[in-house]
Chains A and B, each alone.
Chain A
């Protein structure tokens, strides 16, 4: 529930708690260039977990479309999108968070899925069952997973 999340987040912030509720998908603040300045969880992500999200079919499955040599032992990397080698040189943290949350703001009409958006889809399904979605959709990745991936991607510098 959007409203209560916001209220919760606000009161958590007011209380100075480090464990604020994550920003809900509809509440993400994109700037004019599609970048997102604030962490979705209010804290830094874990790069190791991020690498896992990138690799696993059941998680981000980013390697379905992207090659990345620092994860060379992950088999069958696709080549639909650009390689992610050196991506931390090309984009800063806020930009990477924006691309991940909704790449359409950066690349209008891109084939890259929006990992932190829950509306505007045509015939959304219930996961990969082929059946209609029941109730509100979950984003493809959680706020925490997005932050983990961002934390990993910023480390990807060309040597």
Chain B
């Protein structure tokens, strides 16, 4: 071990109290005064050797004002996009003269879907995200154009589908045929990309609760996606967020919908197994 004495000095300095740690809060998320959400949960079994006490929704890391916006659907700007998604659901498009509703009826038929995706698709022989499934239906069942992976219309549709599972625990499967993809996602999560050499884990596992400049770092959970961000005043997809976070390490990032991000989505989702599906959530 190099530099023994100095490392010891640095360790001492780190232990000195007085740094204003902005810890996640203990508030309870109840939506519309009736739906109590699980925003803290025990570590999923696969995270046993991870140095964390529990998993937490990003909601706990936001200011009281931002939190309040998610507590009432009339205040949640994401709900406007859900309405747009509902119109898309009922709109006939493509060569087959069908809408989503033609095959699936009411959107409540999507209850439970968000909670278990991404998941292995036997027919396709790959792990599929909700977005991939949406485009699969559009192209193969409706004869319509696919949505661009992280576009507004895609986010709207994802929000409508997420809402049907709101309050249900995230529960993605990581074993069986999905395991290989999950392992790949895990590897990406711990890879230190870019000229800043930062991994997802550096920020969201080792430093959640700490401040990086003006940002209060959360655990980077995706149970709240798609998420309405005050910063860009639109609904954001999980892959859009991944892309931004990797770009911020001064790296050549991956594309929304890429195999890498599908794998990463499965892995990150599995780190939230047990938290409530929260989309569309509100963040800054």
Chains A and B belong together in one complex: yes
Query: What is the interface of chain A, defined by CB distance below 8 A to chain B?
Result: 32-34, 57, 61, 63-65, 67, 75-80, 82-83, 90-91, 95, 105-108, 111, 113-114, 121-133, 137, 140
Chain A CB within 8 A of B50 CB:
no
Contacts A63-B213, A80-B212, A124-B251 given; does A113 touch B10 at CB 8 Å: no
Assess A79 versus B210: contact at CB under 8 Å? Given A107-B7, A113-B196.
Answer: yes
Nearest residue in B to A75 (C-beta to C-beta)?
Answer: B214
B19 touches A125 (CB 8 A): no
- The answer to whether A127 and B202 have CB atoms under 8 Å apart is no
Q: What residues of B have a CB within 8 angstroms of the CB of A124 in the complex?
A: 194-195, 250-252
B2–A32 contact, CB under 8 A? yes
- In the complex, the answer to whether A111 meets B2 with C-beta atoms within 8 Å is no
Q: Decide if B40 is an interface residue (CB 8 Å cutoff).
A: no
B213 and A64: CB pair below 8 A?
yes
Chain B positions within 8 Å of A, measured between CB atoms, are: 2-3, 6-7, 9-10, 13-14, 16, 19-21, 191-198, 202, 206-207, 210-214, 243, 246-253
Q: What residue of chain A has the Cβ atom nearest to residue B192's Cβ?
A: A122
Residue of B nearest to A126 (CB): B252
- Report the Cα distance A133→B198, complex, angstroms: 17
In Å, the complex CA distance between A57 and B214 comes to 11
Chain B residues contacting A64 (CB-CB under 8 Å) are 212-213
Which secondary structure characterizes the binding site on chain A?
A: loop
State which of B20, B193, B206 has its C-beta within 8 Å of the C-beta of A123: B193
Closest-CB distance, B54 to chain A (whole angstroms):
21
Instruction: A80-B210, A125-B194 are known; give 17 further A-B pairs, CB within 8 A.
Output: A34-B3, A61-B213, A76-B211, A78-B210, A79-B20, A80-B207, A80-B212, A83-B13, A90-B10, A91-B6, A95-B6, A108-B2, A111-B206, A114-B197, A128-B248, A130-B246, A130-B253
**Chain A residue with minimal CB distance to B4?**
A33
The CA of A133 and the CA of B252, in the complex, are separated in Å by 7
Q: A90-B13, A105-B2, A106-B2 are in contact. Are A123 and B251 (CB under 8 A)?
A: yes
Q: Is the CB of A121 within 8 A of B213?
A: no
Closest to A64 in B: B213
Q: A79-B21, A82-B13, A129-B247 are in contact. Are A33 and B212 (CB under 8 A)?
A: no
